[in-house]
Chains A and B, each alone.
Chain A
Amino acid sequence: MYTYNDFDKSFIATRNSQFRDQVERRIDGSLTEDEFKPLRLMNGLYLQLHAYMLRVAIPYGTLNGGQMRQLAFIADKWDKGYGHFTTRQNIQYNWPELRDVPDMLDALAEVGMHAIQTSGNTIRNVTADHFAGASADEIADPRPVAELIRQWSTDHPEFQFMPRKFKIAITGSPNDRAVTRAHDIGLRMVEKDGEAGFEVIVGGGLGRTPMIGKVITNFLPQEDLLPYLESVVSVWNQIGRRDNKYKARIKITVHEHGIEEIRRLVNERFAIVKGSFSGIDQVRLAQYKTHFAAPDFTVKAKAVFKDAYHSDPIFRSWADTNLSAHKADGYSIVSISIKKQGDTPGDATSDQMRLMADLAETYGHNELRISHEQNVILPHVHKSDLPALHAALKEQDLATANIGLISDIIACPGMDYCALATARSIPIAQEIATRFDDLKLEHEIGNLKIKISGCINACGHHHVGHIGILGLDRAGVENYQVTLGGDHTETAKVGDRAGHGFTAKELVPAIERVVDAYLDLRTGKDEEFIETYRRLGLAPFKAALYPEAQADAA
């Protein structure tokens, strides 16, 4: 893992003291509310429906036990004893007092963390594959590059007052777990003739105008990355629309100018910008790679795992759903579900955080990850330690066996917290999860991703859910639109809108009808929901959603 050097420490300390000063200057009137707003946003502080919200970066989703323990400490000391993991590998505290925020930032700095550029019209926290450095299917670990991008983008003088926010994601695996095609820039690590480089995707995004990103170059040599990124952002900072915030994201710029014209402008700018990089970034990148060296994997017997797997059905069920293939023999990647049916997706209590920190230190080479699906990952656990780990997780309600299943729902905070929301998301997620848990159908249904947004801004990624749910307000009544067939992976696709929306009460039965239709239509248990949908299209699912239309036609 990357550890802060003296420069990083000094940077954060200075930045925090500047923010402390900015808070005081807001209070004494030197800064107007308008002027203070972007300054607090670029330090992670939002104003929500009921209170301020502090969004803390977990860069590329990686943290260690000590950092997780400090997140628990902050939750207890300055918040209500819990935190919320987000789809962009951040953790949000929902109830801080403005006067406490500088102290919270200092507490983060103690463990090499910050909240810089988690909000505002800036380059946001860089996200990465949550299985990076562990997965069996990886070309290269994307995190050293992500750290390079974090440093380049942090406090970048050209890019603090842009048309809108700008999000970058990177994956080192052909199996895209980082949603790169729905980011302002998505980077896929590739190799060409033995040379390392990137496929660069630009102009993806969800929100009210969902767009799948377009490839601007299919091979960018590794050493050109920072000047190329800078050129893309610079061109957009100049020509991106500032007249309408809903048309300000680069996806609209790419859409309006066309990818060919954007490519031409970027190449033109790259020719100028490239010379301002001496190449020192590549020397640093080589250093950072050593920070992310794989742990010393141990070789030991796996008999304990096999015994538990055959004798304990609860353990077996968890092992079948929550483990992924590791590159090292005898190891597994463990996904800890933060989606217990009936609880708020992504919320973890301070006790849970402390337990996960302890377990990472005891069994997981002191590493944790936050996934964009709002779960916590222990990337390196030896199989023989899994029964003990599972037993410990059960103590804190963290052993839910539902990764990738229908109750592993992404949901935005919705109207329970968010000032922008037009409908509730969390209660809907809770009802769906509870309902299918009661039916005991979840494992039978298999891999199915439900994603819920409480407004058109699509923080819950509903456009790319196999089943997407969008909560709107229709004359004061919550109304939920359903989209089907969305895909967030390397075969990314925006889901098809099924038809008119449902009330909160009608929604869960409607989802149940879609799932029943799938169970009827699939060729067998091997055919996942999304595969059946691709084979048959919207029609049979639409018929299931709207049986009254069938009745009318008859």
Chain B
Amino acid sequence: MTILVTDTGFTADTWDQGYTPFGEAANDVVSIDVPADTNPADIEITPTLKMVRIDFPSFADGRGFTIARMLRLTGYTGRLRAHGHVISDQYPMARRIGFDEVEISQDLAARQPQEQWKFRADWKDNDYQDRMRG
């Protein structure tokens, strides 16, 4: 079982409808799993789409941040989840870019307990982007 991280700390996963792999998505797809090498322009934002889960194969691979940003800028308003190797120090980046939540493994959760994630729940503070974008 994986752990879901939000601003309140660790919670059980509330999404129970599974995921369709990105390449197999049809028009009426509800949720998709997006690999890090996806061109964000290829993701079709359909009315039925409610959950997008973007993979982070390694915490050092920041492509998922660009995919998330582009999805939000092109009008996606559903749930957006970062999934995989995301560390607590990246939580504010994930939230600022438009992710709602982060899904991590139990191993990572054991090594970085929820206090370390909640420490960064103040992601709205001290944000230069806020000052530059308005």
How far, in angstroms, from A380 to B94 measured CA to CA in the complex?
45
How far, in angstroms, from A148 to B74 measured CA to CA in the complex?
26
DSSP majority for the B interface? helix
| Beta-carbon contacts under 8 Å, B75-134 to A | 87, 89-90, 92-94, 96-97, 111-113, 116, 119, 125-129, 131-134
User: Contact: A238 with B39, CB < 8 Å?
Assistant: yes
Chain A interfacial residues counted at CB < 8 A: 46
> Interface segment, B2-10, B19-27, B46-54, B57-65?
B57-65
**Given contacts A29-B111, A35-B87, A272-B74, is CB(A160)–CB(B93) below 8 Å?**
yes
User: Contact: A161 with B62, CB < 8 Å?
Assistant: yes
Q: Which of A15, A237, A272 contacts B62 (CB 8 A)?
A: A237
How far, in angstroms, from A32 to B108 measured CA to CA in the complex?
11
Is A199 interfacial (CB-CB < 8 Å)?
Answer: no
| Beta-carbon contacts under 8 Å, A273-316 to B | 273, 275-281, 284
Q: What residue in chain B is nearest A235 (Cβ atoms)?
A: B66
User: Contact: B89 with A157, CB < 8 Å?
Assistant: no
Q: What residue in chain B is nearest A156 (Cβ atoms)?
A: B129
Interfacial chain A residues near B70, Cβ < 8 Å:
234, 269, 272
Q: What residue in chain A is nearest B41 (Cβ atoms)?
A: A268
How far, in angstroms, from A238 to B36 measured CA to CA in the complex?
9
User: Contact: B119 with A21, CB < 8 Å?
Assistant: yes
Is A52 interfacial (CB-CB < 8 Å)?
Answer: no
DSSP majority for the A interface? helix
User: Contact: B59 with A161, CB < 8 Å?
Assistant: yes
Q: What residue in chain B is nearest A234 (Cβ atoms)?
A: B66
User: Contact: B116 with A158, CB < 8 Å?
Assistant: no
User: Contact: B111 with A280, CB < 8 Å?
Assistant: no
Is B40 interfacial (CB-CB < 8 Å)?
Answer: yes
Interfacial chain A residues near B73, Cβ < 8 Å:
272-273, 275-276
**Given contacts A25-B116, A237-B63, is CB(A11)–CB(B128) below 8 Å?**
yes
Minimum Cβ distance to chain A for residue B133 (Å):
5
User: Contact: B87 with A31, CB < 8 Å?
Assistant: yes
How far, in angstroms, from A273 to B97 measured CA to CA in the complex?
13
9 smallest A-B Cβ distances: which pairs?
A161-B62, A278-B134, A280-B134, A157-B93, A157-B96, A11-B126, A157-B97, A158-B65, A152-B132
Chain A contacts to B: CB under 8 angstroms: 7, 10-11, 14-15, 18, 21-22, 25, 29-32, 35, 38-39, 121, 148, 151-152, 154-162, 226, 234, 237-238, 242, 268-269, 272-273, 275-281, 284
